Amino acid sequence: MPKERFFFEQPLRENEIISISQDEFHHLVNVMRAKVKDRIEIVNGMGELATGSVQTIEKKQATLLIEEVKQEAEAPFQIILAQSIPRPNRLDFILEKGTELGMTEIWLFPGKHSERKEFKGNQLDRMHSILVSAMKQCGRLHLPKILIKPELENWKGLEYPAFFGDVEALAPHFIDAFKKENFDRLASKGVIFFIGPETGFSDSETAKLRNLNVKGVKLNGNILRTDTAAIVALALITAC
C-alpha cells in the first residue's frame, strides 16, 4: 500500500475529476508534499479503491483524476463490538485498533457506570476521523460503521449470537465457547461482543444481557480494562 492514500466519501468513477479539501488536502500538500502529476490512491470506505494522479493544487483544495477503480466485496461475516461508552482516550484507542482488527460495526451505548452518556456532533466527527485514518493506514477498503444505541434495558433482541466479558469464576473461555457452541453458524453470519465501561456492567445490565441470550465468557485469567478487553475480543474473533 502506498503512503499516498486519500479519503473521498463518495462513489468513485473512472475518468472523473474530484476535489479534496480540509484534512485530506492538508495531508496531500503539507504531509506528503505532493506535486502535480504525482500518483495517488483514493478510498471511499465503501469498498472502492481508485488509482489516479494529482491534477491541480490550489490554496485550499486540490483536484485528482481518477483513472482506475477496483471494487472489494464487503465481508460476509460481521464483527460487531457493542461497547458501553468509555472515557474518550480509551474510546479513541478502541476505534483505531478495532478498525485495524477488522471490526465491521461498533455499537456505542450508555452504561449504568459510564461517565459519558451521549455524544455531541463534533465528537461524532472526531470518531469518524479516527476510523478513516485507521482504515487508510491498515489498508482496509470498508469503513466500520458507528451506531449509537440506547441503554441496555431498552434492547429487544439480537440478530447474531453474542457474548460478553464475564468475571464469574465458572465462565467458559471465549475461544472454547465460540468454537464449540457457535462456530459453524457464525461462520457465514456474524458475532456481537459486549464490553462494559471502566467499572464494568451493573448487576441489572448483566441480567439483561443474559435475558438477551448473551453468553458470559472469559477473555483472560485477569480482569481486563475496557479498551484491552475490546481489543482482545476482536483479536480472538479474527484469529478463529
How confident is the model over 60-88, as pLDDT tens digits?
Answer: 999 999 999 999 999 889 999 999 999 99
Give me the pLDDT at residue 97, please: 98
Average pLDDT over residues 115-133: 91
Give me the pLDDT at residue 3, please: 60
- The answer to whether residue 2 scores a pLDDT higher than 60 is no
Contacts of residue 144, defined as CB under 8 A and 6 or more positions apart, other chains included, come to 95, 98, 99, 103, 104, 105, 106, 131, 135
Q: With bands split at pLDDT 50, 70 and 90, how would you rate the model's confidence at 189? A: confident
- The answer to whether residue 183 scores a pLDDT higher than 60 is no
- The answer to whether residue 188 scores a pLDDT higher than 90 is no
CA 187/CA 13 separation, integer angstroms: 33
Q: What is the pTM of this model?
A: 0.90
- The answer to whether residue 163 scores a pLDDT higher than 80 is yes
Average pLDDT over residues 185-210: 87
Q: What percent of the chain has pLDDT over 90?
A: 73
Q: Residue type for 107, please?
A: W
Place of cell 451505548: 109
Place of cell 477473555: 219
How confident is the model over 6-55, as pLDDT tens digits?
Answer: 999 999 999 999 999 998 999 899 888 989 999 999 999 999 999 999 99
Average pLDDT over residues 163-173: 89
Average pLDDT over residues 193-222: 93
- The answer to whether residue 1 scores a pLDDT higher than 50 is no
- The answer to whether residue 185 scores a pLDDT higher than 90 is no
Give me the pLDDT at residue 168, please: 85
Residue 122, CB-side half-sphere exposure with 13 Å CA sphere = 0
Average pLDDT over residues 141-145: 97
CA 210/CA 220 separation, integer angstroms: 20
Using CA atoms, how far residue 104 sits from 3, 42, 74, 168, 199, in Å, is: 24, 20, 9, 28, 26
Where do the domains of the chain lie, and which CATH numbers do they carry?
5-71 (2.40.240.20), 78-239 (3.40.1280.10)
Q: Rounded to a whole number, what is the largest CA-CA distance in the chain?
A: 63
Give me the pLDDT at residue 64, please: 96
Q: What percent of the chain has pLDDT over 70?
A: 95
